[in-house]
Structure 1
Amino acid sequence: MLETGRYRAALMARLEELDTRLHMIESELDCPKTRDFSDMAIEREGDEVLEHLGQSGQEEIARIRAALARIRDGSYGVCVQCDERISTARLEILPETPLCRQCAAQIS
C-alpha cells in the first residue's frame, strides 16, 4: 500500500504556492495601464506572458485537485488508463500525475 501522507503534503504545499502566484499575476494584470502607445505595446506583451502563466497555473491546480481526489478515494498511485501502479520514482517527480510512465509516453 502506498503511503500517501507525504504526497498529500507536497501537493497541498504546491497548491498554496500556485494560489499565491496566481493572486500576484491577477494583481499585476489589474494594475492601471499607461497611455503611451509604445509602452502599451510592451505592457500588452507582458500581459500575454502573465496570462499564459496564469493559465498554466490553473491547469496545474486542476491536476493537483484531481490527485488529491484520488488520494481521498484510495486510487492514488494507480494509473487511470491501465490500472497499473505508478512507480514511486515517478510520483516523487510528478506527484499529481494520473498516468504511469508507459501510458504517459503513449500520449506524448
Structure 2
Amino acid sequence: MTQELKQQFTERIIELQQRVEAIHQDFAQGRDADWSEQAGERENDEVLNALESEAKVEIQQLSLALNKIKQGNYGICEGCGEAIAPERLNVQPAAIKCVQCAE
C-alpha cells in the first residue's frame, strides 16, 4: 500500500513540476505589442500565477507526505497522534491532521 502511495505521489509531483515548467515557458515567451492583446495576456498571467501557486503548494504537501511515509508515520495525526481516517486520506492524501484536529 505505501509503495503504491509513494508511486502515486511521485507521479503527481512530476506532473505538477511539468505544469509549473510550462507556465514558466509561457511567461518567457514575452508579450504582444498591441495594447488590447496585452490586457488579455495580463488576465491570463493572473490565472497562470494562481495555477502555479496551487501546484507549488500541492508539491510541498505531497513531498511532506512522502517524507512521512519514509519515516513510517504517514496517516498519523500531528495534533492528537491518532490515525487519520482512511476516508480522509482518500480525499486528501497529504492530510496531516484528522478531521477533529483540522477543525
TM-score class, shorter: over 0.9
Give the C-alpha shift of residue 95 in structure 1. Answer: 1.3
1:11 is paired with a residue whose SS is helix
Query: Which residue number in structure 1 is paired with residue 12 of structure 2?
Result: 14
Alignment of 1:35-74 (within 5 A): 35-74=33-72
Paired with 2:79 and 2:36, the residues of 1 have a C-alpha distance of 50
Give the C-alpha shift of residue 32 in structure 1. Answer: 1.8
Q: Aligned pairs, how many?
A: 103
Q: Among residues 20, 29, 54, which one is paired with 1:31 in the alignment? A: 29
Paired with 1:99 and 1:21, the residues of 2 have a C-alpha distance of 28
Query: Which residue number in structure 1 is paired with residue 89 of structure 2?
Result: 91
Give the C-alpha shift of residue 91 in structure 1. Answer: 1.4
Extract structure 1 runs of 4+ deviating beyond 6 A: none
Gaps of 5+ in 2: none
String of CA shifts for 1:34-68, please: whole Å, max 9, x gaps.
11111111101100110111011101111111111
Q: What is the identity percentage for the equivalent residue pairs of Structure 1 and Structure 2?
A: 35
State the TM-score, normalized to the length of structure 2: 0.92
Paired with 1:89 and 1:57, the residues of 2 have a C-alpha distance of 23
